[in-house]
Amino acid sequence: MIEFDGIQFNDLISGRVMDALAEHDPSLAELGHDQVPNRVSRPLFMSAIAQINGLPFLPKCAEFCESELLDACDPALLTRGGFTPLCIHGERLIVAISNPWSSLPDEYLPPRFPDLQIDKVVTLSSEISRAIERGSTMAGPNRSQLESINVEDMEDGLQDFDVTSEYEEPIAQLAATILATATKLRASDIHFKVEKESFYYSFRIDGDLGEKFEIPMKLKDRIDAFFLNLMKLATETRNTVPGISGRFTISYYHRPIDIRYERHRTYRGYHITMRLLDKSHINVKLGKGSLAFDDETLFEIERVMRIPAGIIVMSGPTGSGKSTTLNAMLRELNRPDVNILTLENPVEDEIAGVTHCDLKSPAEFKPMITSFMRSDPDIILMGEVRDKESAELAIEAAVTGHKVLTTIHTPRASQIIERFEQLGIERWKIAQTLKAACAQRLIKVLCCECKTPQKGINESDRRTFNLGEEWADVSLFSPRAGGCSECRQTGYSGRTAILEIIPITPRVSDQLSKGEISPYDLEMMVLKDGSLPNLRRSGLRLLADGQTDLQAISKTIDMTYSDE
């Protein structure tokens, strides 16, 4: 049975899909059903779906969507149903679909377009979303409208701010446009910055901050107050504290998206960072999507998850996908006979059957974890080890027989041990309870539609990044200058995770406790063994496989030294 993009196909259809794929590329006939999501591109898979249904396949259709047709439809229903009207040709309504077996287009569209015959074309679900978004995009207030705004006190803000509605109040419309655009572009963060002579916002997409969009300086206080009102915080708060943390929810075509808000005072005004937690894209599984690890890494992760008790720590910088990986592990561990409790700020991924607890303030941490210990848990997820108190409570939970999953900020996996020591935990306690030290990074992936072939790596880069002479003639790929419409002219399309794992075996635990080896010695032991996942080796594997380029790897991983 094949599962692709969240849709399960029965054995009969799966067999027909495999036959269609083999017609295109005979080597694909050897693939197992479970390998299809990671080895077959979306365009190729959907073309096979179209073929077995006797329908044309149109991979690029968003540009053909006539926006006036969307006025007669509910964009939220079209998005959920995976279809959209494209255009009218004579007496025919051309409709793009992503699921040929769904009857919803045949039920929903005829009453809205009477006397028209429906003709279907198969396309990618991403193209349908793009077509709907293009037809429903809000332009937002123009510069002259913003300049004409009277700077005065605002009324109370909104809850569950609908960013796909239109607002008469220009500030509300501006905020809605910015948030809707960020969601559409799948940005992870929005930054607002006040500098000496400019006020602007920018989006972080695939790990990189993009273009700066300037806003009239006189609106900085109005926009600041608008977001505070969304969280029902008094505007006077910004003058009394150096930093403000908060949360609010937006609605994007009836899809709820959590916004985590951080504001700190600066010399010229303030800096706001808003993290977008789009739960429709966060529900990923190990081995799929951005967590499509290689077989070696998946095996080691599964072995780590079988540890009955102890601490599993995931390290990495902010935005490296640590929490996403731990939540994917929780999904694998989630069974009816296991009691799982999580303590997070905020709750990023709600899993059915798991008890999630949301910290409202740091003061709640100790009483909450104490209550956890009395709630008969088997597995505890702690959002982050930040201080001595949280580190001690994680150790205590592990000592009493619980499996604890948590995150911490360190550059390398071996430095997790040193970080716990810096927080005041004795080495022997760490050695006894830590079962796996992991480090994760997200590497940008080249756009498969426009990446260009490259012959080898030049001598300067080979010397800089300690690469052998064999890399001089390897066939690689690089991003095309200016990209294409599929990757929004960046040359990259999404990111994929790589992982480093250092298991703390009983022998290693004893050596660490006695001071016979240091964390660095342990890392070197693991590297010499060569069988465990390593950030540098995983990055080079992605490079050799044509999934990324050296620039993307070196920007994320320190490649200037060799592990050998």
Flag whether pLDDT at 77 surpasses 70.
yes
Flag whether pLDDT at 511 surpasses 50.
yes
444 confidence band (pLDDT: 50, 70, 90): very high
Lowest mean pLDDT among 56-70, 313-327, 365-379: 365-379
* The two structure tokens encoding residue 118: 């429906």
100 burial level (CB within 10 Å; 0-12, 13-18, 19+): middle
* The two structure tokens encoding residue 60: 């690029």
528 burial level (CB within 10 Å; 0-12, 13-18, 19+): exposed
Cβ 203 vs Cβ 489: under 8 Å: no
Count CB-CB contacts under 10 A for residue 559.
19
Cα–Cα distances in angstroms (integers) from residue 421 to residues 199, 232, 387, 521, 557, in the given order: 42, 40, 11, 16, 24
359-413 pLDDT per residue, tens: 766 677 778 777 777 778 899 998 888 888 888 888 888 888 889 999 998 888 8
156 confidence band (pLDDT: 50, 70, 90): very low
Question: Distance between CA 212 and CA 199 in Å, rounded?
Answer: 9
Does the domain at 2-136 match CATH 3.30.300.160? Answer given as yes
323-341 pLDDT per residue, tens: 888 888 888 898 888 899 8
pLDDT of residue 213: 93
Lowest mean pLDDT among 237-241, 421-425, 496-500, 539-543: 237-241
Flag whether pLDDT at 135 surpasses 80.
no
CATH architecture of 143-280: 2-Layer Sandwich (3.30)
pLDDT of residue 335: 87
The residue type at 99: N
pTM: 0.71
Flag whether pLDDT at 161 surpasses 80.
yes
Instruction: Please compute the mean of the pLDDT values over residues 501-526 and round it to a whole number.
Output: 88
Lowest mean pLDDT among 156-160, 329-333, 429-433: 156-160
pLDDT of residue 40: 80
* E strand map for 337-421: 340-344, 355-358, 379-382, 403-408
171-228 pLDDT per residue, tens: 999 999 999 999 888 898 999 999 988 999 999 988 888 899 999 999 999 999 999 9
351 confidence band (pLDDT: 50, 70, 90): confident
Residue ranges of domains in the chain: 2-136, 143-280, 289-443+496-535
151 confidence band (pLDDT: 50, 70, 90): low
Give residues with Cβ within 8 angstroms of 289, minimum separation 6.
none
pLDDT of residue 155: 47
* The two structure tokens encoding residue 491: 């040359």
Flag whether pLDDT at 283 surpasses 70.
no
- CATH classification for the domain delimited by 289-443+496-535, as one of 3.40.190.10, 3.30.10.20, 3.30.365.10, 3.40.50.300: 3.40.50.300
Instruction: Please compute the mean of the pLDDT values over residues 449-459 and round it to a whole number.
Output: 90
Question: Distance between CA 303 and CA 292 in Å, rounded?
Answer: 17
pLDDT of residue 157: 41
pLDDT of residue 311: 93
Instruction: Please compute the mean of the pLDDT values over residues 232-259 and round it to a whole number.
Output: 84
pLDDT of residue 158: 46
Q: Is 256 helix (H, G, I), strand (E, B) or coil?
A: strand
pLDDT of residue 133: 75
pLDDT of residue 50: 92
Find where tokens 């959209």 sit: 84
Q: Which residue has the higher pLDDT, 124 or 145?
A: 124
